[in-house]
Amino acid sequence: MLGVLPDIVALREAQARLGTTVHRTPVLRSAQADRLAGAQLFFKCENFQRTGSFKFRGALNAVRALSPEQRRAGVISFSSGNHAQALARAGQIEGVQVTVVMPHDAPSAKRLATQQFGASILGYDRMRQDREALAAELVAREGYTLIPPFDHPAVIAGQGTCALELFEEAGPLDALYVCLGGGGLLAGCALAAAELAPGCAVIGVEPQAGNDVQQSFQCGYPIRIEVPHTIADGAQTTRVGDLTFAIICARVSAIETVSDPQIIETMRFLAQWMKIVVEPTGCLAAAAAMQRQPADAKPQSRLVGEAAVRRHPQQARPRIGVVLSGGNVDLARYAAWLAGA
Ligand SMILES: *Cc1c(COP(=O)(O)O)cnc(C)c1O
């Protein structure tokens, strides 16, 4: 039923297919973040990826994996967020026509961002029409290939290349925190970790208000929730994917949640201390990593001064990877969040 789940071979193929068309994004460090977390944090900065998020990896990998016939017919998707922009740009680079099904009332900035990369937008009424049915109709009528935002083998494999790069650059990690919506990024990163860093705990982080994957993870089957109210708009998914869930169940250690106030605090921290703009959804993993209770906090509390330093040298602190997944944020809202409005 699930078809072929991607594996490390698919990730390596994706890495070769993407080549240098994707940016090898930097891995940043921050002494201040390390101090707060009681760990050594390695931030993989996908906010610097082309089109502003990791979604470009999965989209480009999926487009490059198409057959010549599929390329000629074009592709379709139904996201108004980062996947739409990423797919539009991937299609533009590859000369493949992209159609995005987007509600008539989608923010104009999102329509423009998608249109500027040459995609055509098909508007629909979100009260009366079902976007997935509409996309399915076009697949049948026009012969388009559907490239969904997360539940697709080539998309998952493409997203996982960001963790491949992180492990290559940062070396061994004790844990990896990953932002979580429908699970494409988490599943891809978990596949990379299973192969390159079998001892590394992989932790997905979703908004508290929309913890459907956490609930699904606990009960063992995918549950559906109402559209959650959270500022993390890239994680407002109502149900995990089937492929992504199978991989998450097999390879992920835990799912954690963070609140909107924690997300805002993290956005502010990243701007102030690391000078980087990260969108709310992009802060999920960092928010969880920086609030974690250091495992060595208790024994250390009995020691003071130099003794504590000697007993807990920097090298003994856990090495933790954190994916900063994207940086596409409306600047007026961003400024208001940073100002505490
Ligand atoms: C889409 C998105 C996510 C969630 O990714 P999934 O693969 O749906 O879990 C996280 N952060 C950003 C910035 C995104 O655009």
Spatial distance between the Cα atoms of 267 and 265, rounded to a whole number of angstroms: 6
Residue 255 near ligand 1, beta carbon < 6 Å: no
Please answer whether residues 164 and 13 qualify as being in contact, where contact means their C-beta atoms are separated by less than 8 angstroms. Answer: no
Spatial distance between the Cα atoms of 198 and 8, rounded to a whole number of angstroms: 12
Spatial distance between the Cα atoms of 336 and 92, rounded to a whole number of angstroms: 34
Same domain, 128 and 176: no
Same domain, 203 and 86: no
Residue whose entry in the numeric block shows the structure tokens 């940016």: 23
Please answer whether residues 44 and 189 qualify as being in contact, where contact means their C-beta atoms are separated by less than 8 angstroms. Answer: no
Best mutation site among 45, 79, 179, 257 for ligand 1 pocket (most ligand atoms within 8 Å of CB): 179
Same domain, 289 and 324: yes
**What is the sign of the dihedral through the CA atoms of 218, 177, 163 and 313?**
negative
Cα(281) to centroid of ligand 1, in Å?
A: 7
Please answer whether residues 209 and 268 qualify as being in contact, where contact means their C-beta atoms are separated by less than 8 angstroms. Answer: no
* CATH number for position 239: 3.40.50.1100
Residue that is last in its domain, among 146, 168, 195: 146
Same domain, 34 and 163: yes
Best mutation site among 50, 51, 54, 258 for ligand 1 pocket (most ligand atoms within 8 Å of CB): 54
Same domain, 160 and 286: yes
User: What average pLDDT does the segment 243-263 reach?
Assistant: 97
Q: Which residues contact 6 (CB under 8 A, 6 or more apart)?
A: 153, 154, 156, 157, 160, 188, 191, 243, 247
State the CB neighbour count (10 A cutoff) for residue 214: 20
Best mutation site among 211, 325, 328, 334 for ligand 1 pocket (most ligand atoms within 8 Å of CB): 325
* Residue 1 placed within a domain: no
pLDDT for res 4: 77
Residue 103 has pLDDT above 50, yes or no: yes
Helix %, strand %, coil % for the chain, to 5?
Answer: 50, 15, 35
Query: Average model confidence (pLDDT) for the chain?
Result: 91
Same domain, 237 and 311: yes
Across 105-109, 269-273, 287-291, least confident range = 105-109
Residue 117 has pLDDT above 70, yes or no: yes
Tens-place pLDDT, residues 294-313: 554 444 444 444 444 444 45
* Residue 171 placed within a domain: yes
* Domain tally, the chain: 2
- How much of the chain exceeds pLDDT 90, in percent? 80
Residue 292 near ligand 1, beta carbon < 6 Å: no
For the annotated catalytic residues, the residue numbers are 55, 80
How do strand 201-207 and strand 175-179 relate by DSSP bridges? parallel
Residue that is last in its domain, among 123, 146, 169: 146
- Does an H or E element contain 178, and which? strand 175-179
Residue 339 has pLDDT above 80, yes or no: yes
Please answer whether residues 184 and 241 qualify as being in contact, where contact means their C-beta atoms are separated by less than 8 angstroms. Answer: yes
Tens-place pLDDT, residues 123-163: 888 788 888 888 899 999 999 999 999 999 999 999 999 99
Residue 234 near ligand 1, beta carbon < 6 Å: yes
Same domain, 248 and 199: yes
pLDDT for res 298: 43
Domain hosting residue 60, numbered range:
56-146
Residue 46 near ligand 1, beta carbon < 6 Å: no
Residue 151 near ligand 1, beta carbon < 6 Å: no
CA distances to 3, 43, 171, 209 from 290, in Å: 37, 12, 20, 19
Q: Which residues of 246-272 are buried (b: 16+ CB within 10 A; e: fewer)?
A: bbbeebbeebbbbebebbbbbbebbee
